[in-house]
Amino acid sequence: MKMAETSLKMVPKLYSNKERRDVKHHIKNLYSSSFGRDFEKYTMYKKKRTKIKKMGLTFDFKKNDLDLIKKSKETFLLAFLPTDKQLEAGNDNKQEMLKKEWNETIINVTSLLKDGGKIYIHSIKDGQDVIAFALFYVSTDETEIFVDILAVNPNYQRMSLGSTLLDSLFFEFPENSLIELITNRKDNEKALKFYKKNGFVTRFELSHNLVLVKKRW
């Protein structure tokens, strides 16, 4: 991945126009053949990243960074805050439940790290504040990514941050072929529309859970 990105950047400096075209063509084939990746989608991903950077936001992709995970608490709480409709339906203790859920996540992550496990966090920051993040695990055979939490601060929603974070899982992990996402929010219309738009399909349905899957394009 790193090598391919570097090659793209180096193209303008090293070659004549014709050679640049040849090299770009070669890289394009490389992406759509050996990496099995759609070059157009990769280009769109890079464009979305550039647009987000132009908004003054920064990307921070980390492995086993408990501090960065802890810094994401506020965004988790704000993103999953109950709507007025949910409050009317008697979910007024949801904030407490969310805090509990977050504490459980931190306990799980801490114990996983103690056991030598790996946990990744891809975040987008505004200054020092994490305003969007995806918390995920990679299976030991490295073929599957399990997304634990994906959350975007409500003030920054509908700006492609969530989709770009999802894309980043594929593009930063070229060896992985499948993203699995387990959500216990079957009633979350907004999230379901978002995942459908991002190419996810429902694999199976449990009482309160949906397992959504996206294969490598």
Q: List residues binding ligand COA (CB under 6 A).
A: 79-80, 150-152, 157-163, 183, 185, 188, 190-191, 193-194, 197
In eight-state DSSP terms, residue 136 is E
Q: Which CB sits closer to ligand COA, 138 or 153?
A: 153
Q: Is beta strand 58-63 parallel, antiparallel or unpaired with respect to 178-183? A: unpaired
Helix residue ranges per DSSP H, the chain = 2-14, 17-32, 39-54, 66-71, 73-79, 84-88, 94-114, 161-172, 189-197
Q: Closest by alpha carbon to 180, among 137, 117, 140?
A: 137
Smallest gap from residue 174 Cβ to ligand COA (A): 22
- Spatial contact of 65 and 122, defined as CB atoms under 8 Å apart: no
| H or E element, residue 63 | strand 58-63
Q: Which CB sits closer to ligand COA, 65 or 101?
A: 101
Smallest gap from residue 180 Cβ to ligand COA (A): 12
Smallest gap from residue 59 Cβ to ligand COA (A): 14
Q: Which CB sits closer to ligand COA, 40 or 175?
A: 40
Smallest gap from residue 9 Cβ to ligand COA (A): 26
Backbone phi and psi for residue 201, each to the nearest 5 degrees, phi listed first: -125, 155
Smallest gap from residue 157 Cβ to ligand COA (A): 3
Q: Which CB sits closer to ligand COA, 150 or 169?
A: 150
Q: Is beta strand 120-126 parallel, antiparallel or unpaired with respect to 144-152? A: unpaired
Q: Which CB sits closer to ligand COA, 51 or 193?
A: 193
Q: Which CB sits closer to ligand COA, 14 or 201?
A: 201
Q: Which two tokens stand for residue 134?
A: 């995806």
Question: Cα(167)–Cα(188) distance, rounded to whole angstroms?
Answer: 21
Smallest gap from residue 160 Cβ to ligand COA (A): 4
Question: Cα(179)–Cα(200) distance, rounded to whole angstroms?
Answer: 9
